[in-house]
Chain A
Amino acid sequence: MIKDENGAIVVNWNDMYDPELVYSFLRDMRYTSVNDTHINSENRFTTIEGDYNSTSSAGTGNFVIIPNEAKYEDKTVRFELIKRIADLAEFPEVDNFLLSHCSYIKDWMDKNPEDKSIELAFKATVSRSDDLGTVTDYLTNVKLTKSIFEDSKRKLELSVLVLAAIIKKFYKSDDKEFEIYNLTTDLQKFNSNNDVILNIMKNPIETLENYDIETSDVNNKVLSYHNGKFSVNFKKFRFLQNIILITPIFEMYRQNLDLKFLSYLITMKKLEPQRSLF
């Protein structure tokens, strides 16, 4: 981060992925009341004009730092990466998997074209109160998510996320879109098992037929009705911290290859050797 000849702060977008520079940016912004900002997309920098007052930490102003990616809001840097997928044609392996092994999901998509569009969202908020390790993790995940969204070499990892988002939308156990949290560990193992994953997507029955989905218990819900109370044990199935399905009768879904596939990916690290991506 530098200051130009007029005293404006110039933020090079690449600096926003460096933890120490983000800290420095947040510190400077504490003392700056922002008057105006200018985004230069071509040269990838943003100019922030404002009044700097080192004796007062009452800096004001919310603004976009990197379009569709980072903004300064309430004295924090908020990263938000969103990938919208309107057509599964870009993901033939996902389309084929659903067509061949999850006809109910395919039916749903065919009859509800508006549900064909899915959204993957990554959100992280960096504030000055976070320690350097946490900020480093956030920024690693920002970079990782960006590379999955943009790098064609990581298409399979994106395919897995797209499939998971579709499955989540189908069961709709909560109203949230599919959110990407800390991907580092999980994606390392997906990446190192690229061929295995692709193979299972093409021919899931061989690997998954006798595989049992791993679920966790939700606290027992006590439901009441006219002649008493009864307790129901709900089970929860999560994938990358997203709730995919909550049900009191998981047994009914145990044969579903969509859920088996996601569960297998989670447990995969126990079965496959890993190698680091970074």
Chain B
Amino acid sequence: MLQIVSQTNLDTVIFMSDDTPMYQVVGLNLGLLKKKFLCIGTEGLNRSSKLIDGKYYDGLQARFTKSNSTSYNRYSANRTFFKRVVKDDEKHETMHLTIANMYRHLDNISIQMKLNTPMKADQGVISQVEKLSSHVKISEKMQNLCDINLSSNIPLINKNIKTSEEEEELKNTMDLAVYKTKVFEENYRAMYPLLVLKNFSGEGGGEHLTTFSEFERFNKYSNMIKDVEKPSEDARRKFIELCEIFRLNKVIKNIKVNNFEVIQQDDYLKIRLFGITIAITTNLKHFLYFDHPGINFVADFIDKNDMLNNIEAKISKEIFTRI
């Protein structure tokens, strides 16, 4: 719930209860920024509790102040920094939203959402990963979920806006940012199986870095993610053979097709899906018989999406154009 606490030509104070979706808060911030109302950081942000319609809501009270600067390049007058942290005790998740201008002017706004995930994936996710391998035990350590850190820069205020088309374009940019925030906020849990599979790659790192656009691409497949299972023997063999060809090639070091990426370095091959590292390995052939949950996942995903031909074609094209 959003509620205006006070409003003048120079100052707007807004209460946002903790149950207010992040995308609404993003929309509010961008709308105010467009009118040059800036949040001045911690001084303008206070935890608060408010009685609304006979019910108390915990939340954040934020003050947005109209910038009186006439120049877009004056750092001190054009600094905005908004931060909101919402904790979900029941799901053991904490979402951090930061909206700030990274540079000295307002035409480049950074929106960052960082999700502190639960320490471990829930049983539903674990069961799905378990089904991918008859040989690998999903130990406690492998059930960990890393945090997700997602950020994007958006061009918000163009000082040269003069025409209605430019105005419309700006509105679209803002709407798109709000929409992508909403997509992430409502669907990020679909990524949890992949975060568990990341544990089987051996790549460390405390968080998964991504962008709003990358997440949106992932989300188009999120329904399919649930249906991924152990691949057929044929699908697994074709996928592994393709990866082996790539691992041994001397011409190209990496290739990206749709959301699948393979990177070769020294004798190693790194396999990524939606920007998440699924496997790093020297010898793939034993995974024809020993179930690597991540490789099985990618093999079935590629098979179910009929992507294998595209990948083969891209690899062939890249190799032929470079030799």
Q: Do A and B come from one complex?
A: yes
**A interface vs B, CB < 8 Å?**
104-105, 107-108, 111, 170-173, 221, 223-226, 230-234, 246-249, 251-252, 254-256
B238 smallest CB distance to A (angstroms): 15
Q: Which 8 A-B pairs have the closest CB atoms?
A: A248-B202, A249-B202, A104-B289, A104-B290, A108-B289, A107-B289, A172-B283, A255-B137
> A182 to chain B: closest CB distance in Å?
27
Are A247 and B202 neighbours in the complex by a CB distance under 8 Å? yes
Counted as pairs of residues, one from A and one from B, with CB atoms less than 8 Å apart, the total is: 74
Flag if B266 contacts A251 (CB, 8 Å).
no
Q: Which B residues are in CB contact (< 8 Å) with A255?
A: 135-137
Q: Would you mind naming 5 contact pairs between A and B with Cβ atoms under 8 Å apart?
A: A104-B289, A223-B270, A226-B263, A248-B202, A249-B201
Q: Is the interface of B mostly helix, strand, loop or mixed?
A: loop
| 0 or 1 for each of B132-173: is its CB under 8 Å from A? (1 = yes) | 000111010110000000000000000000000000000000
Most chain B Cβ neighbours within 10 Å, of A104, A221, A246 = A104
Contact A172 B266 (CB under 8 A): no
Residue in B closest to A256 when the chains form the complex, CB atoms = B135
Given contacts A232-B202, A251-B141, A223 and B135 within 8 Å (CB-CB): no
Chain A residue at minimal CB-CB distance from B272: A225
Query: Nearest residue in A to B287 (C-beta to C-beta)?
Result: A104
Cβ-defined partner of B268 (8 Å) among A107, A223, A252, A256: A223
Q: Are A231 and B204 in contact (CB under 8 A)?
A: yes
**Of A104, A173, A225, A252, which is within 8 A of B270 by CB?**
A225
Partner of B203, one of A105, A170, A232: A232
Contact B283 A171 (CB under 8 A): yes
Which residue on A lies nearest to B136, using beta carbons? A252
A247 vs B201: C-alpha distance in the bound complex, in angstroms?
A: 9
The answer to whether B282 touches A246, judged by C-beta atoms less than 8 angstroms apart, is yes
A232-B203, A233-B202 known; A223+B283 contact, CB < 8 A: no
Q: Is the CB of A252 within 8 A of B292?
A: yes
B205 at the interface (CB under 8 A from A): yes
Interface string of B267-287 (1 = CB under 8 A from A): 010100000000011110110
B200 is an interface residue with CB less than 8 A from chain A: yes
Report A105 CB to chain B, min CB distance, Å: 7
Contact B266 A221 (CB under 8 A): yes
Contact A221 B268, CB 8 Å, known A251-B142, A254-B139: yes
Q: How many residues of B contact A (CB 8 A)?
A: 30
Residues of A within 8 A of B289 (CB): 104-105, 107-108, 111, 170
* B24 within 8 Å of A (CB atoms): no
Contacts A230-B205, A248-B203, A249-B202: A223 and B292 contacting too (C-beta < 8 A)? Answer: no
- Nearest CB of B to A259, in Å: 11
Query: What CA separation (Å) do A248 and B290 show in the bound complex?
Result: 16
In the complex, which residue of chain B has the Cβ closest to the Cβ of A249? B202
Q: Is B68 an interface residue (CB 8 A)?
A: no
Q: Which residues of B contact A223 (CB under 8 A)?
A: 263, 265-266, 268, 270, 280
B135 touches A104 (CB 8 A): yes
Q: Is the CB of A248 within 8 A of B280?
A: yes
How far does the alpha carbon of A230 sit from the alpha carbon of B207 in the complex, in Å? 13
Encoded as 1 (CB less than 8 Å from any A CB) or 0, chain B from 224 to 266 comes to 0000000000000000000000000000001000000001011
B285 touches A172 (CB 8 A): yes
Q: How long is the Cα–Cα vector from A254 to B290 in the complex, in angstroms?
A: 13
* CB of A228, distance to nearest CB on chain B (Å): 9
Bound-state Cα–Cα, A149 to B120, Å: 51
Whether a CB of chain A sits under 8 angstroms from the CB of B288 is yes
Chain B residues closer than 8 Å to A248, beta-carbon distance? 201-203, 280-281
A224 CA to B136 CA in the complex, in Å?
28
A108 — which chain B residues lie within 8 A by C-beta?
Answer: 286, 288-289
- Residue numbers in B under 8 Å from A173 (CB-CB): 282-283
Would you call A230 and B285 a contact (CB within 8 A)?
no
Who on chain A is nearest to B133 by CB? A252
Q: How many Å lie between the Cα of A2 and that of B2 in the bound state?
A: 105
Cβ of B210 to closest chain A Cβ, rounded Å: 11
A224 to B270, CA, bound (A): 10
B139, B200, B204, B254: the one within 8 Å of A232 (CB)? B204
User: Chain B: which residue is nearest A224 at the CB level?
Assistant: B265
The closest CB in chain A to the CB of B265 belongs to A223
Known contacts A225-B270, A255-B137: A171-B286 contact under CB 8 Å: yes
Q: Which residue of B lies closest to A115 (CB)?
A: B285
CA distance A246 to B281 in the complex (A): 9
Give the contacts of B110-138 with A (CB-CB under 8 A).
135-137
Give the residue name and chain of the A residue nearest to B288 (CB).
A108
B166 to chain A minimum Cβ distance, whole angstroms, is: 32
Note all chain B residues with C-beta closer than 8 A to A221. 266, 268
Q: Complex formed: what's the CA distance from A107 to B137 in Å?
A: 19
With the chains together, A149 CA to B109 CA distance in Å?
Answer: 73
Q: How far is the CB of B310 from chain A (nearest CB, A)?
A: 20
Q: Which residues of A contact B136 (CB under 8 A)?
A: 252, 255
Contact yes or no, B254 A172, CB < 8 A:
no
B281: chain A residues at CB < 8 Å are 247-248
In the complex, besides A232-B204, A251-B139, 7 extra interface pairs with C-beta distance below 8 angstroms are A105-B289, A170-B289, A248-B280, A249-B199, A251-B142, A251-B199, A255-B135
Q: Are A232 and B282 in contact (CB under 8 A)?
A: no
Residues of B within 8 A of A172 (CB): 283, 285-286
